[in-house]
Structure 1
């Protein structure tokens, strides 16, 4: 896929040609013109090219936010039945938040689409976002910040599992509706699309009066991709990870290109702070001035303590605001935005900081490829235990695999990092190395593990290697922007 305006038919043909096959595609369809057009365009193209070995299924998410939404979902189901396309209605159950409803609905929608994709055995998900949506998003972000935005990504990895692709992102809504009229097909108009209480509707009306407001998306995307690649190289050359908890930027790394340092340091802040976004421009300016200064010291930004010393800049999660998490049997959850946990035991597991109890350590077993958090009597026995228990498996000492003695690290920085480590307990009794139940606990990258745009893929994948976690799933395309993946 590449950011060039094209007709809907051309866009779909190019998309299917680039798609790795055989493949089963889940089409997210609401019944609106964009998603209905996407379904019919794909159905037409797939039937015309059986040699591609591509099949379709579909899902409609009923957010249950207004009267009539269930009837609309059933209309879409009837359309899919008439086309011979398997379809599921996924309902957003439970209470709805009083504020931030659009963001919450988006989270719920993609979670439900992923469930449907799992059920249907789909390989990827496609949505009907158009060039009109792209322009609106760019305008909305332009109101909030003066930073250049890459807008809606054409490919996003959700939950490390399913790639969400947007083949019509550079086709216009008007052209899609023209196609639907040509086919004699109708669509459902969502009344919320005309409700000016929503920012997107207000922006849409402004853009209608200013049709010339466009941006060079190709140049913006190329810049983001270059930053991701340069940031990955920066990680290799200038970043070290100690014990899976303490980051270190080497002195030379703080003297690199400003744009690359901003990109890498901002995303590392999100990772170590358990936040989905890098700090804002004001905080990043403060951080850059501090990190490139000559005076040793400490500062906090994005829930991360930055400790500047002669041998580099150390990063660790600050001790404040780390809340406990209880994971019920058979369930999974994200603790502090930094660790993903799955409880395979028969009892609820509580995850808290090491500072709450005693110092803790992480080790990854070769069998499960997942770290465990276990109690230790003191720091010295912790160091001995980590060496003994990780023999033959993953060694969370440094990103280079060196068995560096933790005593060589700055004591205050290391103590701070260890205090932010997770400990596990069952019914208020701390777990011992001998009684560890089947619990998976692994690093979670808040800026990437829920939604990873293809622009950040190279950097995120290199970060996975640094933390010795599994690589991210590659996009299911033969090439992007004319380049082989």
Structure 2
């Protein structure tokens, strides 16, 4: 057993005592050994400790990729019924992609689990990822990058709605199966777990032949948390946001620790570019060298234009490649990976970039209220005014010269570039009236955080939410992590 590993019973007990209570847990169970073990371990521990005020429900996602999957889901339902645990079966409907099936299945699985959690009144979701899964993930990521990976996180906030926790992440599959054998419980073997066309299966076979020393993943996690905390402080002291679209890194912010700069600039690039991941290592090295060089100029990384001036580094979404989004009445969606839109009107609404529709009024959005027609709502830090500015003279340098506060002024070209990436709303090719604009909810969307936010990035992401004046993220439903109060 590696120094990080722990017995399944020990892991479950520590998990339950760390939870805020009362709590209603949704257990994701496929019927395989890991998830069956998780359900039985939790059931055993919860029944032995009623004072914890913790209850269980369960859900099985039928991906409908194999003929036997529906029968397997019913077997799991029977197991849950025998334990007195409420259970739901949710099915992945519709056509399945011919490529990237594993990633698509993962995305669908978590969405369906969240729906089941809402239906069953659960407070959080638990999945049965194990130390074996962690090793496989680290090996796969190690093949793609030289960066140290945090691997699978023990706590992830999904879709800003539910925390997904992984209590068996430091327990081995062999120990879980030993527990099941002790209980006389069987499990379902998924044949796809032996199909070498999947990368994880190939990696698993290689690892089974070479079970070398485990990485001290907890130490890596602590380093990541420390950088996230420093990154949040960096935002407070060195970053300003103008009009919800133009970021400004102050000169002192470019002279900070390189590891912190790497972290914050990578994630700001993902946020302003509407991408779920920070740029790769080669792109980040180029960006860091450019930012540290001190010579005025521009470069584009990850769909973001960086404009280095004497008064700092400006960043905004480049105006190319921004696709329109049409929302039907009552529909919601994410536009350009940067804004979440909800159409509360009775008509179809089109959202596109100002660069493509110069005749329409752009909307600069911050906060969680619907924007006003013809207004710039200026989200800034600490010392800046949030009073709306008139958009009637966007070409006037003087109109927005001091929007940065403190007399520092905004470069005209950087502001125009930001405005080109601003969303405009229309219906049938015509601007929306005030009556309709009030019921179109348009709020900032953080692509690297709003779908999957690990607890390692929670501190930074929450501080970024404050900068953009959006709602804070839900805190993890934990009183402690590894015995440390949070």
Kept after mapping to 2: 8 A contact 1:207/1:213: no
Residues 130-149 of structure 1 mapped to structure 2, 5 A cutoff? 130-149=130-149
**What TM-score does the superposition give when structure 2 sets the normalisation length?**
0.93
**1:371-390 superposed matches below 5 A:** 371-372=370-371, 374=373, 376=374, 385-386=375-376
**Aligned 8 A contact 1:26 1:126 in 2:** yes
C-alpha separation in 1, matches of 2:142 and 2:121? 39
Structure-1 residue corresponding to 2:251? 251
Residue 391 of structure 1: aligned partner: none
Matching residue of 2:405: none
Asked if 1 retains the 8 angstrom alpha-carbon contact of 2:343 and 2:441, the reply is yes
1:442 aligns with 2:443: yes
Secondary structure class of the residue paired with 1:455 = coil
1:429 deviation in Å?
1.8
> TM-score, structure 1 length as denominator?
0.93
Q: Show the counterpart of 2:382.
A: 400
Q: Structure 2 matches for 1:37-56, cutoff 5 A?
A: 37-56=37-56
Q: Rate the CA distance shift 1:192–1:458 in 2: closer, same or farther, 3 A.
A: same
Other-structure match for 1:296: 296
Contact 1:60–1:90 (Cα < 8 Å) also in 2: yes
Q: Shift of the alpha carbon at 1:67?
A: 1.5
Residue 334 of structure 1 aligns to a residue in which SS? strand
**Cα offset, 1:364, TM superposition:** 5.6
1:9 matched residue in structure 2: 9
Matches within 5 A, 1:296-315: 296-315=296-315
| Runs of 4+, deviation exceeding 6 Å | none
1:210 and 1:452 map into 2 onto residues whose CA distance is: 32
Distance in structure 2 (CA, Å) of the matches to 1:72 and 1:397? 51
Contact 1:240 1:400 in 2 (8 A): no
1:329: Cα distance to partner?
Answer: 1.4
Whole-angstrom distance in 1 between the partners of 2:435 and 2:132: 58
Deviation at 1:434, TM superposition (A): 4.9
Shift of 1:397: 4.0
User: Counterparts of 2:369 and 2:54 in 1: how far apart (Å)?
Assistant: 35
Aligned residue number for residue 426 of structure 1:
427
Matches for 1:71-470 after TM superposition, within 5 Å? 71-357=71-357, 358-363=360-365, 369-372=368-371, 374=373, 376=374, 385-386=375-376, 395-400=377-382, 402-403=384-385, 406-407=400-401, 408-470=409-471
SS in 1 for 2:135: helix
CA distance in 2, matches of 1:133, 1:256: 36
Residue matched to 1:379: none
**How far apart in 1 are the matches of 2:254 and 2:370?**
30
Q: Report the CA distance between 1:212 and its aligned residue.
A: 1.9
**What is the rounded CA distance, in whole Å, between the counterparts of 1:200 and 1:132 in structure 2?**
11
How many angstroms does 1:359 deviate by? 4.4
1:131-182 deviation line (CA, Å, top 9, x unaligned): 0000010011111111000100000000011000000000010010011011
CA-CA distance at 1:428 after TM superposition = 2.0
The question of whether the paired residues in 1 share the 8 Å contact of 2:61 and 2:113 is answered with yes
Cα deviation digits, residues 19-65 of structure 1 (max 9, x gap) = 00001000000000000000000001111111111111100000011
On the 8 A contact 2:337/2:447 being kept in 1, the answer is yes
**2:406 alignment partner in structure 1:** none
Contact 1:6 1:171 (8 Å CA) reproduced: yes
Measure, in 2, the Cα distance between the counterparts of 1:373 and 1:208: 60
Determine if the alignment matches structure 1 residue 473 to structure 2 residue 474: yes
SS in 2 for 1:224: helix
Q: Distance in 2 between matches of 1:446 and 1:482?
A: 32
What are structure 2's unaligned runs of at least 5 residues? 387-398, 402-408
RMSD of aligned residue pairs (Cα, Å): 1.4
How many residues end up aligned between the 2 structures?
A: 463
**1:437 offset after TM fit, Å?**
4.4
